[in-house]
Amino acid sequence: MLRDIPPGRIDEMLELVGLRERGRDAYKHFSLGMKQRLGIASTLLRNPDLVILDEPTNGLDPAGTREVRELIPRLAEQGHAIFLCSHLLHEVQAVSDRVAIVKKGRVVSQGTVEELLGRGQYLRLRADDMPGLLRALDAVPWVTGAEAVDGYVRAAVPVARAAELNGILAQRQILLSELSPWETELEDVFLELTGAEAVA
């Protein structure tokens, strides 16, 4: 029942989801993205602490997907905890603060997006002498790991120490042709943790 909803609350929620100007329009004229946002607005009428969104962009065109994706951070800014369940991992990565990865009903990893991606903690290196590069990295005490991945070396080194590492390698006659932060996507982390294979 809407009788116990405070006056103006409906307009406030329509404003939040960007539908204030369409508040008098017939539902049948709404796009799928607008219907999704209207559904979220109706959920928010009673000001819940937790909002659960299950595949909120499923079936939406690119414009509708963007509308819903941009709405999620606004909901969080309003003080709502948002629980987003989605298989679109690039979307999860774009809008989430914390992530849990589930395999067969069990949480296999959780943490902030930055923690899961290891942002700022890995370097991507390449040199003409790749075996020599790996040996040289192994001799640096604060390099906590290095492995060959897809033609590069991924080294567990804080990005802030990249210049220092480059100097050490140059002293050891290892000249790098590439040195950059190792950028990881949530999808890569998911596939590694779950042992799943990407579907072509």
Question: Is residue 60 pLDDT above 90, yes or no?
Answer: no
DSSP states of 8-65 as a string? THHHHHHHHTT-GGGTTS-GGGS-HHHHHHHHHHHHHTT--SEEEEESTTTT--HHHH
Q: Total structural domains in the chain?
A: 2
CATH of the domain at 176: 3.30.70.980
Q: Is residue 102 part of a domain?
A: no
Q: Is residue 1 part of a domain?
A: no
Rounded Cα–Cα distance for residues 38 and 13 (Å): 9
The residue among 153 and 9 whose pLDDT is bigger is 153
| 80 & 17 share domain | yes
Question: Is residue 197 pLDDT above 70, yes or no?
Answer: no
pLDDT number for residue 135? 94
| 89 & 15 share domain | yes
Mean pLDDT of 166-178: 94
| 85 & 131 share domain | no
Domain boundary among 96, 131, 154: 96
Q: Is residue 110 part of a domain?
A: no
Q: Is residue 199 part of a domain?
A: no
Mean pLDDT of 10-32: 84
Partners of 112 in the β-ladder:
98
CA triple 75-117-56, angle to 5 deg: 35
Mean pLDDT of 31-51: 86
Q: How many CA atoms lie within 13 A of 191 on its CB side?
A: 10
Q: Is residue 49 part of a domain?
A: yes
Model pLDDT for residues 63-74, shown as the tens digit of each residue: 878 888 888 888
Which DSSP state fits 145?
Answer: -
| 67 & 34 share domain | yes
| 85 & 125 share domain | no
Structural domain for 69, as ranges: 9-96
| 90 & 143 share domain | no
Exposure letters 127-158 (e unless 16+ CB within 10 A, then b): beeeeebbebbeebeebeebeeeeebbbbbbe
| 13 & 92 share domain | yes
Question: Is residue 7 pLDDT above 80, yes or no?
Answer: no
DSSP states of 92-144 as a string? HHHH-SEEEEEETTEEEEEEEHHHHHTTTS-EEEEES-HHHHHHHHHTSTT--
Rounded Cα–Cα distance for residues 99 and 182 (Å): 20
pLDDT number for residue 199? 42
| 21 & 58 share domain | yes
Rounded Cα–Cα distance for residues 112 and 98 (Å): 4
Rounded Cα–Cα distance for residues 68 and 13 (Å): 14
Mean pLDDT of 137-148: 92
Q: Which amino acid is at 179?
A: L
| 81 & 136 share domain | no
Q: Is residue 33 part of a domain?
A: yes
| 71 & 28 share domain | yes
Joined tokens for residue 42: 């109706």
Q: Is residue 150 part of a domain?
A: yes
Q: Is residue 31 part of a domain?
A: yes
| 27 & 70 share domain | yes
CATH of the domain at 13: 3.40.50.300
Least confident residue range of 2-6, 42-46, 54-58, 105-109 = 2-6
Model pLDDT for residues 79-116, shown as the tens digit of each residue: 889 999 988 888 888 888 899 998 888 998 888 887 77
Question: Is residue 1 pLDDT above 70, yes or no?
Answer: no
Question: Is residue 163 pLDDT above 90, yes or no?
Answer: yes
Rounded Cα–Cα distance for residues 175 and 98 (Å): 38
Rounded Cα–Cα distance for residues 113 and 128 (Å): 34
Percentage of the chain beyond pLDDT 90 is 26
